[in-house]
Amino acid sequence: MAQTIGAGALTQDTITALLAGPPVLHNLSTQTIVFPSVAGRRLLTFDGVLALTLNKAPVAGEDDLKLIQIISTVSRAHTLTTSNLLQTGSANVAIATFAAQPGAGLTLMCWNGKLIVLYSVGITFS
């Protein structure tokens, strides 16, 4: 469904809502699930290592083109584990390990039941 924006109403808040939605904060040790059906930013603010997991594969056709950003704001080596769903341009991999530096992160796009890695900073894939 197309969204109509009135004249003069295109603000940074509107752009953010359209592109990524509001950020999700992972600030507790129990907040470890990433839902591919929910586009948006995930900020890792918990000052401990988070072992994130994808709760399921993206649904082909339904989740296609949804963008997911995961960004660490703390000096911890977080991990994101999937079932070989990360398409890095060289291989399908299961694990993304974040450098223990603020700013480490990645942008994923759901496509045909997989997650295409569009950008990554400070990430090791295995």
Query: Is the pLDDT at 62 greater than 50, yes or no?
Result: yes
Residues β-bridged to residue 108: 68, 117
- pTM here? 0.81
CB-based contact 95:115 (threshold 8 Å): no
Q: What confidence tier does 8 reach under pLDDT thresholds 50, 70, 90?
A: low
Domains of the chain: 23-125 (2.60.120)
Question: Is residue 109's pLDDT more than 50?
Answer: yes
- Note the pLDDT of residue 9: 66
The whole-angstrom separation of Cα 116 and Cα 111 is: 7
CA angle 5, 16, 43 (to 5 degrees): 160
